[in-house]
Structure 1
Amino acid sequence: MLVRVVLSLTPSFPEPSALYTACKMVRWLSAKLGPTVASRHVARNLLRLLTSCYVGPTRQQFTVSSGESPPLSAGNIYQKRPVLGDIVSGPVLSCLLHIARLYGEPVLTYQYLPYISYLVAPGSASGPSRLNSRKEAGLLAAVTLTQKIIVYLSDTTLMDILPRISHEVLLPVLSFLTSLVTGFPSGAQARTILCVKTISLIALICLRIGQEMVQQHLSEPVATFFQVFSQLHELRQQDLKLDPAGRGEGQLPQVVFSDGQQRSVDPALLDELQKVFTLEMAYTIYVPFSCLLGDIIRKIIPNHELVGELAALYLESISPSSRNPASVEPTVPSTGPEWDPQGGGCPQDDGHSGTFGSVLVGNRIQIPNDSRPENPGPLGPISGVGGGGLGSGSDDNALKQELPRSVHGLSGNWLAYWQYEIGVSQQDAHFHFHQIRLQSFPGHSGAVKCVAPLSGEDFFLSGSKDRTVRLWPLYNYGDGTSETAPRLVYTQHRKSVFFVGQLEAPQHVVSCDGAVHVWDPFTGKTLRTVEPLDSRVPLTAVAVMPAPHTSITMASSDSTLRFVDCRKPGLQHEFRLGGGLNPGLVRALAVSPSGRSVVAGFSSGFMVLLDTRTGLVLRGWPAHEGDILQIKAVEGSVLVSSSSDHSLTVWKELEQKPTHHYKSASDPIHTFDLYGSEVVTGTVSNKIGVCSLLEPPSQATTKLSSENFRGTLTSLALLPTKRHLLLGSDNGVIRLLA
């Protein structure tokens, strides 16, 4: 798929134009496919690829850059040195966020956040375990994506889902990060990166919600993170040994900590943990959090004094004259230009108090653009705001950004249907009709005789008794009650239009009112008109050949089948179908997907199968007892026909007996369409049915409600990729339902 192209290009750092083109194609495809298909197939695969961006120790190495390090693309609050995985994931994150911009905030909260919860969820196995490389990468990807989500959530939405973020994202991540029994495949390097990213995420949320909400909603995650320093401090004092004496095979030693809790400890992991939760890490988190939390740090973090002492030891190690950070007032430290890293944390008086590279001015957080970290340690700069968005420049320093109000944003019925669809398995091959109205297309002044989606499913055609053909856009809009205007109206017909279709190879429209019109759907210009040879012998049925063919097949009332190539003048072929019989008028035509055969259905119920290459009649048989109403040809030499005798029959081309036979109890099936191995049917009593081509005869039927569909059903077409139904009525209105 195209989404895999994005990832395959990124790690090798191709020419910028190639990567730009791949991302642009994914974005274009996301808009073209609509919200349900884009989320089910594009966004879902992009989310899977995001984990692959962080797999392996190579992707978890800091990138080397000269001069000032660029901000971390994942929105890190402290670390301004990205790892390779952050650069690789940039195009994937860009495409994911573009889908959210197209369809709105629900994409973030209903699709991305549940997937993040899945990535960080602990395994089903009980007891200590070692992460595999995929799970390790999933944790890094989850925290990175969560940082993006937080930046683009509105205040109201953030507060609504904050408990979920705390319990389904932060606490599971912290359980892995601070675990004394679970090791990381890439060792201390991966744990360090996850640690810094997690700190950044927590700090970003704190900046968004304020001190009071932090105390109410984030006390447990913040305390859990700080608590690991106390645990390691106690383990160093106890000097835990690797001696297995007194323990059974496979058992880990149990240690009682000062909080009264007894925890298992893997002595082999102590070295990894001590490499991560160093004095520098203590200083990195203590100064900003003490600034941000103020006095409530004493209530939220029981061991804040110990972490402060560890931070002071780090200051002494890099500058003996440094002050103890525990003695610094919580509102003093600033990461702006006034902060002097060599002055022991003593800020210059600028009248502001800074937090995480920002400046508090009254009740407003202002992000300075000229923050310049100096002498970064192995973890990168100690503080400063990294990129909160996907862009560059000032967008990288945003704590909050508004998603643009798109005309395609999900709301109402579109949102309800989208929520259902993203939960459906991709392996589900059945058509589910929920009778959800998504869009209305008024405009015809007469009954809609035929509807036909174009191959891309972004437009469809309709023909009516009002002698017009209209081209309609199929992009989602509104809440399900919106009405859409046609993009183009073709008015060259003189009679009621009973057929409309698309020649896929040349991208021309074919419509028929007794004479065939071939015209350009982009300009509405007539390219060719094919009149019947005798006005007393009108055309009664038309079908178009599949690509790469460019021919049109037409049946006239004298049972003659003619082929016309739209690129050449005159007739291409002419065949007589009656064969001395009098089967009546040709009511329906269908061409096989390969273009090698065409089947004609007559008003007497007779059907004739013709080889288009030789003109030979392969078979003729009495298929029904009434008029043939419609015929469809399917892959595998399968034919489906409906008749006024209330039957729907499935045939093999050269077999005498039908493979399946369905009987409608009340009304004939006058219109139907195919979805995979299923047939979606419609009757004049406004009933929609779904039956299988493979299973024994059975049919599920739904009566259309007057709220969703008014008038009498006259035509039906199915959008197989989007799984929507277009329903035409006798009052000239077309409805899009799901």
Structure 2
Amino acid sequence: MPPPPIAGPSSAHNLPIFSLNDTIIQKFKPAKVFKAAVDAGPPPTPTQRPSNQGPKQISGICFDDKGECVITAGEDETFRLPMKTLYSKKYGVDLPRFTHKSTAIVYASTKEDDTIRYHSLHDNKYLQYFKGHKGRVVSLEVSPVDDGFMSGSLDKTVRLWDLRSPTCRGLLALPTPGPLVAYDAGAMVFAVGVNAYQRIMVYDQANFDKAPFLTIKLDDPSLAKITYPPRPIFMTSLTFSSDGKYILVGCSGNAHYIVDGFDDMILAKLEGHIGLERRGLNAPPSIDPAKGISGEEVCFTPDNKYVLGGSLDGNIYVWDVQNLKEKLPPRHDPKSIPVIKPLNRLEGHKGPARCVRFNPRFGMLASAGNELAFWLPDMSGDNEDITKDLLRRKQPT
């Protein structure tokens, strides 16, 4: 059975869609699991560090605009579609991102150099090389509206590119390495996260060479009650909601955050999962993220109602983030950030879910780690007729 269509950004080709609700989101179960989605590699030796033990994992996952194709990148230096495997043994592969064609991607290198590559999946050829970074690219995003894309690197820069030109069209110099980048749905603005200062800077795309028009401070007073000095927040990803109102801040610890996209305000703290930076379930968390963090382990659903995130215990956690501003304390006391506990946890993923992504057009969830799993709502049971009705495509008026 094909996955049901689901709410997302409105467009001419995406009219008859519906919205998720608590009943459907809690019914998701693995429908198809690919156990050979990444080469296992040789077994670890006794002299290997704990962070390097264990099988190779999928490190990145991406759906195309239509939700009909998905691609993964693995530590085995392959990028894979469900029925096709391509190799990048010389350069490695990370952060695969579809362009607006399902037959082409851009991706970052993990060795040899720090060039970003534009690759044709149809004939397995490079279409363009984007050179300029002098450090590994750790964040890469394609513009949702045109051929632009941007990258953040350990060389302390953010570069803005266009698929039609090998030379970057803009550069932001930052004080610390590893900035994170994210576009809003209309590509009118973009955000840059800087971990050393725990700041998110929001820029006008048309005036990126000017100062950011908004700077958001990630200040969580509750952390001072746990350790002193407080453990810093280490961001691993930034994601705008499709309506641009919120920014989801993925973090390596035991909490993620949602901030206001138009104001310097933390709206909610998402807790209940186990952060992937730990070496094991009984090991203490480290400040720096360990192997297992991908920056893709948490995401919004397309209708912005829920956040889904991976966890070290192998479950996928679901947080209800509807009506966030109604959950704010009176006058929004800066010392009191609303904590949202999981609505539900989805069981069925083998091992920690390193990547969690919801299909942008259909009611399908993908999770990846040692294996790749596709999830669909299970419509069996007493509520089958009701659930089928909820999943049925609405007819345009």
User: Do the aligned partners of residues 447 and 557 (structure 1) sit closer, same or farther apart at CA in structure 2, a change above 3 Å counting?
Assistant: farther
How far, CA to CA, are the matches of 1:432 and 1:576 in structure 2? 34
User: Do the aligned partners of residues 663 and 495 (structure 1) sit closer, same or farther apart at CA in structure 2, a change above 3 Å counting?
Assistant: farther
From 356, 366, 371, the equivalent of 1:680 is: 366
Mapped contact 2:188–2:206 kept (Cα < 8 A): no
Q: In the alignment, what sits opposite 1:588?
A: 237
How far, CA to CA, are the matches of 1:516 and 1:623 in structure 2? 33
> Which secondary structure state, in structure 1, belongs to the residue aligned with residue 238 of structure 2?
strand
How far, CA to CA, are the matches of 1:432 and 1:524 in structure 2? 26
Q: In the alignment, what sits opposite 2:127?
A: 487
Deviation at 1:689, TM superposition (A): 0.8
1:562 equivalenced with 2:201 (yes/no): yes
Q: In the alignment, what sits opposite 1:465?
A: 110
1:660 equivalenced with 2:328 (yes/no): no
Rg larger in structure: 1
1:267-321 per-position Cα deviation (integer Å, ceiling 9, x unaligned): xxxxxxxxxxxxxxxxxxxxxxxxxxxxxxxxxxxxxxxxxxxxxxxxxxxxxxx
**One-letter code aligned to 1:597:** Y
Instruction: Number of aligned residue pairs: give it.
Output: 255
Mapped contact 1:465–1:495 kept (Cα < 8 A): no
How far, CA to CA, are the matches of 2:259 and 2:314 in structure 1? 26
User: Do the aligned partners of residues 444 and 523 (structure 1) sit closer, same or farther apart at CA in structure 2, a change above 3 Å counting?
Assistant: farther
1:480-538 per-position Cα deviation (integer Å, ceiling 9, x unaligned): xxxx1110111211112222211233531111213211112111111112222x23xx3
Deviation at 1:662, TM superposition (A): 2.5
Q: In the alignment, what sits opposite 1:340?
A: none
How far, CA to CA, are the matches of 2:313 and 2:134 in structure 1? 32
> Which secondary structure state, in structure 1, belongs to the residue aligned with residue 242 of structure 2?
coil
1:573 equivalenced with 2:214 (yes/no): yes
Q: In the alignment, what sits opposite 1:546?
A: 185
Q: In the alignment, what sits opposite 2:172?
A: 530
Mapped contact 1:540–1:557 kept (Cα < 8 A): no
User: Do the aligned partners of residues 626 and 663 (structure 1) sit closer, same or farther apart at CA in structure 2, a change above 3 Å counting?
Assistant: farther
From 91, 99, 104, the equivalent of 1:454 is: 99
Mapped contact 1:672–1:682 kept (Cα < 8 A): yes
From 260, 275, 299, the equivalent of 1:632 is: 299
**One-letter code aligned to 1:447:** G
How far, CA to CA, are the matches of 2:367 and 2:311 in structure 1? 12
User: Do the aligned partners of residues 436 and 496 (structure 1) sit closer, same or farther apart at CA in structure 2, a change above 3 Å counting?
Assistant: closer
Q: In the alignment, what sits opposite 1:669?
A: 353
From 79, 87, 90, the equivalent of 1:445 is: 90
User: Do the aligned partners of residues 511 and 530 (structure 1) sit closer, same or farther apart at CA in structure 2, a change above 3 Å counting?
Assistant: same
Deviation at 1:672, TM superposition (A): 3.0
**One-letter code aligned to 1:575:** I
**One-letter code aligned to 2:256:** M
How far, CA to CA, are the matches of 1:695 and 1:599 in structure 2? 30
Q: In the alignment, what sits opposite 1:261?
A: none
> Which secondary structure state, in structure 1, belongs to the residue aligned with residue 259 of structure 2?
strand
Normalising by structure 2, we get a TM-score of 0.57
**One-letter code aligned to 1:643:** S
**One-letter code aligned to 2:203:** V
Mapped contact 1:583–1:602 kept (Cα < 8 A): no
User: Do the aligned partners of residues 512 and 691 (structure 1) sit closer, same or farther apart at CA in structure 2, a change above 3 Å counting?
Assistant: same
Mapped contact 1:642–1:649 kept (Cα < 8 A): yes
User: Do the aligned partners of residues 649 and 431 (structure 1) sit closer, same or farther apart at CA in structure 2, a change above 3 Å counting?
Assistant: farther
User: Do the aligned partners of residues 528 and 436 (structure 1) sit closer, same or farther apart at CA in structure 2, a change above 3 Å counting?
Assistant: closer
**One-letter code aligned to 2:375:** C
For residues 16-27 of structure 1, the aligned pairs below 5 Å read none
**One-letter code aligned to 1:672:** V
Mapped contact 2:309–2:356 kept (Cα < 8 A): no
How far, CA to CA, are the matches of 2:266 and 2:366 in structure 1? 30
User: Do the aligned partners of residues 542 and 670 (structure 1) sit closer, same or farther apart at CA in structure 2, a change above 3 Å counting?
Assistant: same
Unaligned stretches of 5+ residues in structure 1: 1-428, 478-483, 697-738
For residues 298-309 of structure 1, the aligned pairs below 5 Å read none
Deviation at 1:601, TM superposition (A): 2.1
Higher relative contact order (Cα pairs below 8 Å, separated by 6+ residues)? 2
Mapped contact 1:639–1:650 kept (Cα < 8 A): yes
Mapped contact 1:459–1:471 kept (Cα < 8 A): yes
User: Do the aligned partners of residues 566 and 549 (structure 1) sit closer, same or farther apart at CA in structure 2, a change above 3 Å counting?
Assistant: closer
1:340-387 per-position Cα deviation (integer Å, ceiling 9, x unaligned): xxxxxxxxxxxxxxxxxxxxxxxxxxxxxxxxxxxxxxxxxxxxxxxx
> Which secondary structure state, in structure 2, belongs to the residue aligned with residue 524 of structure 1?
strand
Normalising by structure 1, we get a TM-score of 0.32
**One-letter code aligned to 1:577:** L
How far, CA to CA, are the matches of 1:598 and 1:583 in structure 2? 19
**One-letter code aligned to 2:342:** P
> Which secondary structure state, in structure 1, belongs to the residue aligned with residue 368 of structure 2?
strand
How far, CA to CA, are the matches of 2:313 and 2:245 in structure 1? 29
**One-letter code aligned to 1:678:** M
From 467, 488, 511, the equivalent of 2:151 is: 511
From 235, 257, 262, the equivalent of 1:608 is: 257
For residues 361-400 of structure 1, the aligned pairs below 5 Å read none
User: Do the aligned partners of residues 631 and 540 (structure 1) sit closer, same or farther apart at CA in structure 2, a change above 3 Å counting?
Assistant: farther
Mapped contact 1:552–1:565 kept (Cα < 8 A): no
1:119-140 per-position Cα deviation (integer Å, ceiling 9, x unaligned): xxxxxxxxxxxxxxxxxxxxxx
1:243-264 per-position Cα deviation (integer Å, ceiling 9, x unaligned): xxxxxxxxxxxxxxxxxxxxxx
Greater strand percent: which structure? Answer: 2
Deviation at 1:550, TM superposition (A): 3.5
Deviation at 1:560, TM superposition (A): 1.1
Deviation at 1:548, TM superposition (A): 4.7
**One-letter code aligned to 2:117:** R
Deviation at 1:577, TM superposition (A): 1.0
**One-letter code aligned to 1:632:** C
Mapped contact 1:443–1:485 kept (Cα < 8 A): no
User: Do the aligned partners of residues 612 and 465 (structure 1) sit closer, same or farther apart at CA in structure 2, a change above 3 Å counting?
Assistant: same
Mapped contact 1:506–1:550 kept (Cα < 8 A): no
Deviation at 1:643, TM superposition (A): 3.0
For residues 148-297 of structure 1, the aligned pairs below 5 Å read none
Deviation at 1:431, TM superposition (A): 9.4
Deviation at 1:598, TM superposition (A): 0.5
**One-letter code aligned to 2:144:** E
Cα RMSD after superposing both structures? 3.1
How far, CA to CA, are the matches of 2:378 and 2:199 in structure 1? 34
User: Do the aligned partners of residues 432 and 501 (structure 1) sit closer, same or farther apart at CA in structure 2, a change above 3 Å counting?
Assistant: closer
Deviation at 1:572, TM superposition (A): 2.5
> Which secondary structure state, in structure 2, belongs to the residue aligned with residue 567 of structure 1?
helix
Mapped contact 2:270–2:341 kept (Cα < 8 A): no
